[in-house]
Structure 1
Amino acid sequence: MTLTRSVATRVVADPKRRSANKWGMKGIVLFLFLLAPSSDADPYDDTHNIGSRDLMVHLFEWKWNDIAQECENFLSKNGYGAVQISPPNEHIMINENNDVPWFVRYQPVSYQLNSRSGNETELQDMIRRCNAVGVRIIVDVVLNHMVGVNQKAGQDKRWSSGASHFDAAQGVEYFPGVPFNKSDFNDPLCNHDIEGPDYQHNAAHVKECRLVGLLDLNQGKPEVREKMIKYLNNLIEFGVAGFRFDASKHMWPDHLKLILDGMNNLRSDIFGENQRPFVVHEVIDRGGEAVKVDQYLEIGRYTNFNFGAAVASAIRKEFDVAELRNMGDGFRYGNKESFNVLNFIDNHDNQRDEYPYVVTYKNQGQYVQAVAYMLAWNYGYPRIMSSFNFSNSIQGPPNNGPEVRFSIKSPQFEADDTCKTSSGWVCEHRWPQIRRMAKFREEVGSATISEIRTGPHMLAFARSGRGFFALNNNPGEFIEQNVMTTLPPGLYCDLSSGLKAQGVCTGKFINVTSNGSADIYIPGHNFLAISLSNRL
């Protein structure tokens, strides 16, 4: 098989501040690099990451003390710039079959900082310790709703993660821990669930009716917004860098803007003067829907579910991975400008679908290929999912049993720094190939993409002068001679199979010649990645 040099005219600069406009073309033509000024004036897009640590990890359901240790012992040393944490607010607790479902974290009881992950003191300590080693904290905040209708503290194995009472009975809707009462909800506009056809035909119902029975708050009411803003500003004072807004699709953008505009600037002693919080909105727009991501682009980034769907389709050979050379603004549906998107392969919701349209940790080989491509390609702000093992869609994180109120277990680690399978944690961010690609992304930074070459189910490209990446999605091995890497001559350790340690490669190596070319070999369904720091 022979790679064909694929040519495009691209805008290739810092993905957080540049536009990418590209088109594919066969043949050998001079590759042009153009810089274009950013049209982005959104103050909520900046990630506030340090240096080129352009990567977030979602430590789903981790405890605050464990996250602090992970920042200090692993993330800060392996290219990770930020952590998305689970919602820190007080929430409902539900006991089902000696388990507490994961979704309790998304059913608030109050905005007090007492959750399964820890208390307010532990949260503050974690934020301080992570910032001290250059890892930013992004808080998952749930402002669209409270708990599901007709649930009450003390009944049917329901209680609170803190000490607050709640009564979500229809027409009562009382949450003294905030406080909210029935006048703070959207019941006068809609007191029933969103129905299936609403998603295609009725944006008002999507935003004002109940999402799977959850009591829908009225963010159009100033008193409701004030309590939400107070909650956000409290977290800003602790030193967080920003927020993921859960279920933004179900809130009006103008109401969200009022909330965002009420937030304080980030702490100047950590982030500098006049810095606005990073914001990303959960908006699922797969096409044909009444609510569009375009409506949210001026108030932060959005969760780009279309990125993971497209990459998974390519890895599954539903289309050729060679087409991923065009990934960026305008590629298929829903991929917008680089500074607008938070990209990911899977998240805590869609990995639990009965028939996932994405690849997950349960498809380990395909998943590693997909994540490796995401980290090598210069588009958007990437997030890696870090999961716990589950056998059903509502299963919660590993817990210590009823004697200690189902407290969350801490992850345990093997000698190779992966998580012990017996602990129940998957920890994809610690998988050897993924953590090495996290360092690859940090090292190549904003280096332009060049020397794109393609073949059937093959894609290769350079990160000019800093790195080279190739993906083989065929079952058989791939061998090609004289492939341009743009790297200086020398022996390089291939990050798919190992790394440089004590002056030798723990895996295979690639010899780059004096003109920057190399003969490459890639096993079936695998990748190759080399960078300057892994030159012997």
Structure 2
Amino acid sequence: MLRRIFTFAMIFILGVSAMSAENKMQTKQGTILHCWCWSFKTIEDNIEKISEAGFTAIQTSPANECFVGDNGGLEIMSAKKGKWYYHYQPTDWKIGNYQLGTRDDFIRMCAKAKKFGIAVIVDVVPNHTTTHKDEISLDFIEAVGGMEKMYHKNSDHTIRSMANRREVTSAMLGGLPDVNTENPLFQEYFMNYINDLIDCGADGFRFDTAKHIALPDDPVDPASKENDFWPIFTGKKSVNGKSVKNADGLFIYGEVLQEGASREDAYGKLFPVTASKYGKLLRSALKNEKLNAKGIVNFQNAASPEVVTWIESHDTYANEGESAYLTNFMIRAGWAVIASRKDGTPLFFNRPKGKEAAQFPGESKIGETGNDECFSPEVSAVNKFRTAMQGENEKFLNGENAGILIIKRGEKGCVIVNLNSKPSAVQVEIKLPKGTYIDKANKTKFVCKDSVLKGKIKPKSICVVY
């Protein structure tokens, strides 16, 4: 009897483990919608629509308790009525804040996402706290051993050099006090937060400012004994008897911006990292209306293919506004490139509502959805193409000029992007069955005969054929 119970338990555990690994792979091979500044309730209300658009995961803004600025105003960016970045200023690591909603809201959102097969990725912020130290939770202060043990010794100044790893991993970034992430008491407290998110339904995490948290072989801050944050939070090690739940089944990636001593190759051995240089390369190509096939294949990242790709991120849009000039079509065209690729995990940043090619148009507030570009027929068609082409090799080709890019996936289908302001005749050598094909984005007609697909693509448009 005991043997039968033990056997059943092992089968159950192995089954759960296999299911978790499958869900992780589905997220990695799928598409993520970054629901930037959406509340948990707003995400819940739009899960079905997100699923219908072909996304396989959503990413929330930080769920932690945070500094309440501007009297709790919910403008995305205003001098006195609210700012998006307050949720990146933790006051405690417990679920729920005034911008996104409560822990119960989070649980309901996750339950709805599970119903539609959508993974939930939570943006987590262990690296720093708010600058308003008097707002930090007493629970948190006591748990880490007091305010004097909360921060790195080197956190008495802002980073002086991005080429110096000790500076990068222990000094203040943007004036935000740098948490001693190697303090076992902090690690245990943060572990409770991570595991609570998992218990509530989270399927993975984006680690904000990951490159500012030391790797095991980085210089050790005087306030720390060893750099073991990453071994602990990737599930290789426990702290005070506690471990990350279901570590092997979580999709984890790190924000490792490629400047200075970013060490993306080393981080990439732990988890996928952000391909920030590739995003910059593609934005330049889109601006110049030339998607040179040979010039945009390389991910520009030593961690490749373990990368998360984007055309823009919330930082490139909301900080200095370096990507704010992108038009809606430029974003869709860039998405067609990254989401139709074999490798990388593409993330679609949802901009606020309002005028295109502008930063903070002022039509939507924190908690609301952004614009509808993530639900456009071209984006949805590319998302579904990516799912249908799993396992197929990729090949980049140009049409009559560099304004036409063709991403061919095996012999099963292709995505065609026309950046030009005029229509263009296209022909692609591909072993599709003979017949007529209607592209799934704009209903453009193509004909395949003798393994050559021919058609005429409209100006500034995307065609998805398979």
1:224 counterpart residue number = 186
CA distance in 2, matches of 1:151, 1:52: 37
Deviation at 1:318, TM superposition (A): 8.1
Residue 298 of structure 1 deviates from its aligned partner by: 2.1
1:396-416 CA deviation, whole Å, 9 max, x = no partner? Answer: 9934xxxxxxxx4544xxxxx
Aligned to 1:310: 281
Which of 270, 280, 286 is the aligned partner of 1:299? 270
Task: Write the deviation string for residues 443-483 of structure 1: whole angstroms up to 9, x where unpaired.
Answer: 222222258455531332422243222223333332145x3
1:484 paired with 2:438, answer no
The 8 Å contact of residues 285 and 293 in structure 1, kept in 2 or not, is answered as: yes
Judged with a 3 Å threshold, the aligned counterparts in structure 2 of structure 1 residues 451 and 193 are, in CA distance, closer, same or farther, namely closer
For structure 1, the 5+ residue unaligned runs are 1-43, 154-163, 167-173, 267-273, 400-407, 412-424, 498-506, 532-536
Q: 1:234 to 1:165 in 2, by over 3 A?
A: closer
- Residue 58 (structure 2) aligned to one of 83, 99, 114: 83
> Which residue of 1 is the match for residue 301 of structure 2?
334
Determine if contact 1:472/1:527 at 8 Å carries over to the other structure.
yes
User: Does structure 2 retain, via aligned residues, the 8 Å contact 1:451–1:485?
Assistant: no
DSSP-derived class of the 1:140 partner: strand
Residues of 1 paired with 2:101 and 2:122: CA distance? Answer: 14
Whichever residue aligns with residue 186 of structure 1, its letter is Y
In structure 1, distance between residues paired with 2:106 and 2:274 = 25
Asked if the contact 1:110/1:178 (under 8 Å) is kept, the reply is no
Within 5 Å, which residues of 2 pair with 1:238-253?
238-253=200-215
Which residue of 338, 348, 364 corresponds with 1:384?
A: 348
- Name which of 241, 244, 258 aligns with 1:264: 244
Provide Cα deviations, 1:78-112, integer angstroms capped at 9, x if missing partner: 32111111111100111155522000010001112
Is 1:321 equivalent to 2:288 in the alignment?
A: no
Alignment of 1:121-160 (within 5 A): 121-148=104-131, 150=132, 152-153=134-135
1:282 aligns with 2:255: yes
* 8 Å CA contact 1:433, 1:496 repeated in 2: yes
Q: Aligned equivalents of 2:278 and 2:143: distance in 1?
A: 37
Give 1:521's match in structure 2, choosing from 452, 456, 464: 456
Secondary structure at the counterpart of residue 74 of structure 1: helix
* Aligned position for 1:364: 328
Counterpart of 2:103 in structure 1: which amino acid?
A: E
Matched, 1:118 2:85: no
Q: Counterpart amino acid of 2:451? A: G
Secondary structure in 2 matching 1:214? coil
SS of 1:253's equivalent in the other structure is: coil
Distance 1:143 1:397 in 2: 31
- In structure 2, the CA distance between the partners of 1:128 and 1:112, relative to structure 1 (3 Å rule), is same
Give the structure 2 partner of residue 59 of structure 1. 35
Q: Which residue is equivalent to 2:151?
A: 186
**2:74 corresponding residue in structure 1:** none
Quote the offset at 1:61 in angstroms: 1.1
Structure 1 or 2: more helix by fraction:
2
Q: Which residue of 1 aligns with 2:224?
A: none
Equivalent of 2:448 in 506, 509, 512: 512
The yes-or-no answer on 1:459 pairing with 2:405 is yes
**Aligned partners of 2:362 and 2:193: how far apart in 1?**
26
Partner SS for 1:112: strand
Distance 2:353 2:307 in 1: 28
SS of the residue 1:68 aligns to: helix
Unaligned runs of 5+ in 2: 1-19, 71-77, 217-228
CA contact (8 A) 1:320 1:456 kept: no
- 1:183 is paired with a residue whose SS is helix
Indicate the residue corresponding to 1:10 in structure 2: none
Residue by residue over 1:28-65, the C-alpha shift from the partner in whole angstroms, topping out at 9 and shown as x without a partner, is xxxxxxxxxxxxxxxx9986254996111110111112
Task: Mark the CA change 1:212 to 1:432 in structure 2 (over 3 Å): closer, same or farther.
Answer: same
Contact residue 484 and residue 518 of structure 1 kept, 8 A: yes
Residue 124 to residue 388, structure 1, CA distance change in 2 (3 Å): same
Q: Count matched residues.
A: 418
Identity of paired residues, percent? 22
**TM-score under structure 2 normalisation?**
0.81
Does the alignment pair 1:445 with 2:390? yes
Q: Matched residue of 1:491: which SS?
A: strand
- The offset of 1:382, in angstroms, is 0.9
Matched residue type, 1:336: A
1:231-286 per-position Cα deviation (integer Å, ceiling 9, x unaligned): 111112223111100011111023222233344342xxxxxxx8332210111014
Supply the distance in 2 between the matched residues of 1:451 and 1:218 (Cα, whole angstroms). Answer: 45
**Equivalents in 2 of 1:476, 1:190: separation in Å?**
55
Amino acid at match of 2:113: C
Q: Is this contact kept in 1: 2:37–2:367, CA < 8 A?
A: no
Label 1:528 to 1:394 Cα distance change in 2 as closer, same or farther (>3 A). Answer: closer
Could you say which residue in structure 1 is the equivalent of 2:11?
Answer: none
TM-aligned CA deviation for residue 183 of structure 1: 2.3
Q: What is the TM-score when the length of structure 1 is the normalising length?
A: 0.71
Name the SS for the 1:216 alignment partner.
coil
1:361 and 1:59 map into 2 onto residues whose CA distance is 20
Distance (Å, rounded) in 1 between the aligned partners of 2:252 and 2:379: 25
What is the CA distance between 1:304 and its match in structure 2?
1.1
User: 1:492 Cα shift?
Assistant: 1.8
1:276 and 1:52 mapped to 2: Cα distance?
Answer: 11
CA distance in structure 2 between the aligned counterparts of 1:301 and 1:344, rounded to whole angstroms: 13
- Shift in CA distance, 45/243, structure 1 to aligned 2, threshold 3 Å: farther
CA distance in 2, matches of 1:382, 1:184: 38
CA distance in 2, matches of 1:106, 1:91: 7
Maintained 8 Å contact 1:45/1:301? no
